[in-house]
Amino acid sequence: MKRMAVVLAAGQGKRMKSKLYKVLHPVCGKPMVGHVLDTIKATGCERTVVIVGHGAEKVMAYIGQDAEYALQETQLGTGHAVQQAKALIGGEQGTTVVAYGDTPLIASATLQGLMELHEERGAAVTVLTAVMEDPSGLGRIIRNAEGELVKIVEQKDCTPDEAAIREINTGIYCFDNAKLFAALEEVTPNNMQGEYYLTDVIGILRGQGDLVLAYQTDDASEAIGVNDRLALSEAEAYMRARINKGHMLNGVTIIDPASTYIGADVVIGADTVLHPGTILKGKTVIGEDCVIGPASEIEDGVVMDGACVKQSILSQAQVGARTTVGPFAYLRPGTVLGEEVKVGDFVEIKNAVIGDGSKVPHLSYVGDAKIGKNVNFGCGAITANYDGYNKDITTIEDNAFIGSNANLIAPVTVGKGAYVVAGSTITRSVAENDLAVARVRQENKPGYAEKIRARAKAKKDQSSPS
Ligand code: UD1
Ligand code: CA
């Protein structure tokens, strides 16, 4: 059976009080509509139509080629919204899922279960329902004495008896595509809100003798529709718990899930340990047997097997296998660390490749550099890569030794096995195995300290006589 989807995302989202269009608000780092589309994709839908209206350009720009679009110029209700997809998929035969772009928690296993029941039973519509502690504002599921779904009544159209029902319409459905678009023709806006309700299709199909089913999820959080920032934070908390649980079941140790924030698309290998205060964002990939945190933030980073990152911030940086980073390192975009590298405390690295076995243990800045293997970059040594206009490259070849507090003024190359003595300011390249000294030669003046102290004391006594 061909599977399709219609995702409603035309509403304005006024209650978000935001410049950002509602369905683009992120939950665990990914826009809500992105979550919904990924879940739909996982159920094997061949065509997905997103109904756009408010903020259409921004929504389409985010989703791109992953969907087709239908514009709903004025928002006349959920039924009207789905109808906009008719020109695109109205002629298809198959199953159509309808979901909202602002219900990010719908799980693919639930959607799969809903579709399977619907297709096995050959239903005209199957509604995903949930039982809510507080059903206010939601459409109520009206069942007959046999327990069959008869119709859905919106809160504003409910009798007091209906309003007391706690089983609600999640707003997620499976339809027989042809029957959906035929029934939509019969929907009228004769209700309290003057809208074309998609929910009226259920009563219409049932009235014409079609099979109408309900599929109840026992996880009511899946139905959370985000209308304001409170619901957004609630969705975030549920999503975070779900993501953390998934990683733990895959063999990742999370010492304190409550203080561990993992983005929806992050990948983590087994036997990795995440310490409290770990934040993993974007497309970050962490290998196996790594130790991350405490207090580390990695965005779009790659950390290979057995590496360790403590109290550090990484952005678009790559860390090789068994390399250690931190505490208090800042790895900026373009950082590529090889295997068994050591980057220690108060080190900043930007746009630099550092070869296997090299060490930058303390208090260094390495920017726009190519550093070979087994290089020692002494305490406080830095690259001076910027002259106010240009960024120049520093190259340090294998086995070179850069003494403490050296300044390497780019562009400059230090050859293989060369030695730069501590405190040097290097402005010219150093050839292989040469030694470079670029500092004033030391002079010692015997007993001069006493003389200087006496002079200083005399000056003080003169300015403040006792
Ligand atoms: C809808 C359901 C209700 C269900 C609830 C679950 C109807 C009539 N009611 O109510 O039974 O319990 O969802 O959350 O369907 N949208 C458009 N175009 C429109 C109208 C809405 O794109 O013209 C989008 C909105 O942006 C939103 C979604 O559809 O994402 C739901 O619309 P909303 O008006 O909030 O429906 P509810 O009143 O919540
Ligand atoms: Ca220094």
Tokens of 39: 């879940």
Q: Indicate whether this model's pTM tops 0.75.
A: yes
Q: How many CA atoms lie within 13 A of 202 on its CB side?
A: 28
Rounded Cα–Cα distance for residues 251 and 273 (Å)? 9
Q: Which CATH number fits domain 251-436: 3.40.190.10, 3.30.450.20, 3.40.50.150, 2.160.10.10?
A: 2.160.10.10
Residue 394: which H helix or E strand, with range?
Answer: strand 394-396
Q: In sequence order, which residues have a C-beta less than 8 Å from that of residue 317 and are 6 or more positions away?
A: 298, 301, 302, 331, 332, 333, 334, 335, 336, 337, 349
Separation of CA 77 and ligand 1 centre (Å) = 7
Q: Are strands 95-100 and 167-176 parallel, antiparallel or unpaired?
A: antiparallel
Ligand in closest contact with the CA of 49:
1
Q: What is the DSSP letter of 187?
A: -
101 CA closest ligand 1 atom index? 30
Ligand 1 atom 22: residue of nearest CA: 10
Nearest to 68 by CA among 60, 78, 77, 76: 60
Domain 3-223 and domain 251-436 have a common topology = no
Q: Which atom of ligand 1 is nearest to the CA of 152?
A: 11
Q: Is 275 a catalytic residue?
A: no
Question: Over its length of 466 residues, how does the chain's per-residue pLDDT go in tens digits?
Answer: 899 999 999 988 899 999 999 999 999 999 999 999 999 999 999 999 999 999 999 999 999 998 999 999 999 999 999 999 999 999 999 999 999 999 999 999 999 999 999 999 999 999 999 999 999 999 999 999 999 999 999 999 999 999 999 999 999 999 999 999 999 999 999 998 999 999 999 999 999 999 999 999 999 999 999 999 999 999 999 999 999 999 999 999 999 999 999 999 999 999 999 999 999 999 999 999 999 999 999 999 999 999 999 999 999 999 999 999 999 999 999 999 999 999 999 999 999 999 999 999 999 999 999 999 999 999 999 999 999 999 999 999 999 999 999 999 999 999 999 999 999 999 999 999 999 999 999 999 999 999 999 999 999 999 887 6
Q: Which residues line ligand 1 (CB under 6 A)?
A: 8-11, 51, 53, 72, 75-78, 80-81, 100-102, 138-139, 152, 154, 168-171, 197-199, 225
Name residue, tokens 């996880």: 219
* Ligand 1 mutation pick, 100, 125, 190, max ligand atoms within 8 A of CB: 100
Sequential DSSP letters for 17-42? --SS-GGGSEETTEEHHHHHHHHHHH
N-terminal to C-terminal alpha carbon distance within the chain: 102
Residue 407 Cα to ligand 2 midpoint, Å, equals 7
Ligand nearest to the CA of 36: 1
**Dist. CA 138 → ligand 1 center (Å):** 9
- From CA 29, how far away is CA 431, in angstroms rounded? 48
387 three-state secondary structure? coil
The single residue listed with the structure tokens 């070179």 is 400
**CATH code reported for the domain at 3-223:** 3.90.550.10
Residue with tokens 């945190």: 293
Residue nearest to atom 11 of ligand 1 (CA): 139
Residue spans per domain, the chain: 3-223, 251-436
**One-letter identity of residue 260:** T
Ligand located closest to 377 CA: 2
Q: Which own/partner contact pairs does 55-59 have at CB distance under 8 Å and 24+ positions apart?
A: 55/12, 55/21, 55/22, 55/24, 56/10, 58/21, 58/24, 59/9, 59/21, 59/23, 59/24, 59/33, 59/101
Return d(Cα 103, Cα 126) in angstroms, integer. 18
Residue 435 Cα, ligand 1 centroid: separation in angstroms?
74
